[in-house]
Amino acid sequence: MLDSDLALLAGHAARLRQRHLRDLIAEPSRSVRYQHRVGPLLIDFSRQKIDDDALAALGEIVEKARWTEARDTMFRGEPINTSENRAVLHTALRASESQLPALAPRDVLAEIDAAQQRMESLVDAIHGGTDGGIGLATGITDVVNLGIGGSDLGPRLAVEALGAFALGKVRCHFLPNVDGHRTAALMRTLDPRRTLVLLVSKSFSTEETLLNGHLLREWLRDAYAGDHADADRHFVAVSANVDAARAFGVPAERVLPMWDFVGGRYSVWSAAGLVVALALGMPGFRALLRGAAAMDDHFRSAAWHANLPVLLALVGAWNRNAQGCASRAVVPYLDSLAELPAYLQQLEMESLGKSVTPDGAPVAQATVPVVWGNVGTNAQHAFFQALHQGTDVVPVEFVGVVRASHGLRENHEALLANLLAQGAALALGRTREEALAEARGGSDAERETLAAQRTFPGDRPSTTILLDELTPESLGMLLALHEHAVLVQSLLWNVNAFDQWGVELGKTLAKAIRPALTGTEANGLDAATRALVAAIRIARSRGVS
């Protein structure tokens, strides 16, 4: 944003400081003006500390940033990821389900279509217990998705969220981390001859995934008394690096493609979502794509003031840049959406956690807030105290579903009532007078003291997202909503949302440190790391392995 934009927003924020959210909420028709719906997804911004004038200013800023042009440039597949000279075409993965003409290049759409057909045959083969004509192991009951970051978070979220739609043909397990405890537990509990391993890695160079891949390969080979060919039939790879997957031992016919034009954190719609298709069946996976495509169509056609991703992005930028909020909490009121905060953490923080522009200049304003959260109501009994009465204001995104997929009516009503209550409590608060009126017994001074501690400042913003039901379509819409909000924020903040150079340094250092842990060589390490390595070695020499 320009300095003048920031000054404009600061002016609106200063004006709004004179008004409590309690008064804003009471304005006639506010809830109608600040509530929007696209299909099964409703979003309510009425509890944001914003008014029509401030929103209009944000609208001017985003229009000036030529967001429609940037949006179409992305959909057309121009190389907007400039630091890697790559197109950004995750939307092409769901273009087949869109109601609007596709903008992506035809050859890309044809490649995607061919990949989806291969994915479908693979799913049919595994569900049908055949080798699919590509040498797959048969009789598979369990699938291990081996991948991390985008190769794990989106697929895991979708499988867990959509458990009610699972066909029950296979059990799905996820192994993202290099922590051997989980790897060992899976090897202990699964039957290797009935397990299929999906090696999901766009680069096929991610240490965690390859390390676990080698371990599971040994485990499978042991189960076949060293017969490599039979053991290797239990592997399918999903990667943009077919050569590396082949070098690992997965033949090309069992490698499904990923592409440079789909970032890892945007890849659940690709074959990286194979585990989702195995859980739900290909029609269920296509329904997920359909939901995302419906949000794409909305993003491509609605004006900014009725455009959900744009509004979500603007409200986020308002909280970050005009209200100075350094974090935002995501609280889904549904256990099956427990992975949503982690998914959004990667989507937003890996995309927007930048402090230089694509030209290498420092950005003009703060960029991504820290994204964190947990499921409600659990979160109410953990960190909501700080949200209500702590010194920092943390905007909250509440996510709920109107109709549950179970018949336990009372539970669901309690869940929804809590969701609504928390947003109300954050916004309205409780005045000192109200707290005082409730304080009983003791002297006036004691009642004052107690009332001070039982006062809630309120005036704390939140957004409420309600899905009619949690279905593949509505989940697809929810994820695409956030993807597009990220694109819009990247324009406002002038950062490249599609690279992630910031994760590289740590990876390189880990490689340098490993030999120091196992051997005696600790040269080239900084003093702090050297001291920690020494402490680990001493602990080991005392018998801690």
Active-site residue set: 350, 381, 507
Among 145, 209, 319, 489, binds ligand F6P (CB under 6 A): 209
The minimum distance between CB 196 and ligand F6P, in angstroms, equals: 19
CB 216 to ligand F6P: min, Å? 15
Residue (207 or 433) nearer to ligand F6P, CB:
207
Q: Which is nearer to ligand F6P, 147 or 376 (CB)?
A: 147
Q: Is 202 in the site for ligand F6P (CB under 6 A)?
A: yes
What is the C-alpha separation between 477 and 432, in angstroms, rounded? 42
H and E: helices and strands count for the chain = 23, 11
Beta carbon of residue 175, minimum distance to ligand F6P (angstroms, whole number): 13
What values do phi and psi take at 35, rounded to 5? -115, 135
Q: How far is the CB of 350 from ligand F6P (least distance, A)?
A: 6
Q: Which span (147-155, 370-378, 382-390, 471-479) binds ligand F6P, by CB under 6 A?
A: 147-155
**Bond preceding residue 377 cis, omega within 30 of 0:** yes
Q: Nearer to ligand F6P by C-beta: 149 or 400?
A: 149
Q: How far is the CB of 504 from ligand F6P (least distance, A)?
A: 8
CA 199 to chain centre: 20
> What is the C-alpha to C-alpha distance for residues 68 and 304, in angstroms, rounded to an integer?
9
Asked if 150 interacts with ligand F6P (CB under 6 A), we say yes
Tell whether residue 503 is a contact of ligand F6P (CB under 6 A). Answer: yes
CA atoms within 13 A on the CB side of 123: 24
User: At its nearest, how many Å lie between ligand F6P and the CB of residue 355?
Assistant: 18
C-alpha distance from residue 293 to each of 38, 100, 245, 472 (Å)? 12, 9, 30, 12
Q: Which is nearer to ligand F6P, 77 or 147 (CB)?
A: 147
- Which residues on neighbouring strands pair with residue 199, listed in sequence order? 146, 237
CA dihedral (526, 528, 529, 530) positive or negative: positive
Cβ distance to ligand F6P smaller for residue 198 or 470: 198
Asked if residue 344 binds ligand F6P (CB under 6 A), the reply is: no
What one-letter code names the amino acid at 501?
A: W
CB of 211 to ligand F6P, least distance (A): 12
Instruction: Give the closest residue to 230 by CA, choosing from 272, 193, 281, 276.
Output: 193
Q: Is the dihedral of CA 284, 107, 481, 497 positive or negative?
A: positive
| Helix, strand, or coil (residue 195) | strand
User: What is the helix (H) or strand (E) element at residue 345, kind and residue range?
Assistant: none
**Is 201 among the residues that bind ligand F6P (CB under 6 A)?**
yes
Asked if residue 148 binds ligand F6P (CB under 6 A), the reply is yes
Site for ligand F6P in 77-136 (CB under 6 A): none
Closest CB to ligand F6P among 150 and 284?
A: 150
The contacts of residue 518 (CB under 8 Å, 6+ apart) are none
Stretch that binds ligand F6P, among 68-76, 196-204, 439-447, 472-480 (CB under 6 A): 196-204
Kindly tell me which of 85 and 545 has the beta carbon lying closer to ligand F6P: 85
CA pair distance 336, 375, nearest whole angstrom? 9
Closest approach of Cβ 486 to ligand F6P, in Å?
14
For ligand F6P, the closer of residues 206 and 212 by Cβ is 206
Q: Which stretch binds ligand F6P (CB under 6 A): 13-21, 80-88, 146-154, 425-433?
A: 146-154
Binding segment (CB under 6 A) for ligand F6P, from list 13-21, 98-106, 197-205, 486-494: 197-205
Is residue 264 near ligand F6P by the rule CB under 6 A?
yes
Question: Would you give the end-to-end CA distance of the chain in angstroms?
Answer: 52
As a whole number of Å, the CA-based R_g of the chain is 25
Supply 524's token pair. 């080239």
DSSP letter for 540, please: H
- How far is it, in rounded angstroms, from Cα 242 to Cα 203? 9
Residue 431's contacts (CB-CB under 8 Å, 6 or more residues apart) are 455
Question: What gap in Å lies between CA 502 and CA 506, rounded to an integer?
Answer: 8
Residues binding ligand F6P: number (CB under 6 A): 15
Residues 394-453 that bind ligand F6P (CB under 6 A): none
238 touches ligand F6P (CB under 6 A): no
Residue 267 CB, nearest distance to ligand F6P (Å)? Answer: 7
Residue whose CB is less far from ligand F6P, 20 or 265: 265
> CA-CA distance, 348 to 345, in Å (whole number)?
6
Q: Contact with ligand F6P (CB under 6 A): which of 48, 151, 321, 496?
A: 151
Residue span binding ligand F6P (CB under 6 A) among the ranges 195-203, 242-250, 443-451, 525-533 = 195-203
Span of 23-31, 158-166, 199-207, 470-478 interacting with ligand F6P by CB under 6 A = 199-207
CB-facing half-sphere around the CA of 264: CA atoms within 13 A: 21
At 278, phi and psi to the nearest 5? -70, -35
Closest among 344, 293, 359 to 485, alpha carbons compared: 344
Q: Is 265 in the site for ligand F6P (CB under 6 A)?
A: yes
Residues found near ligand F6P in the complex (CB under 6 A): 147-151, 201-203, 206, 209, 264-265, 350, 500, 503
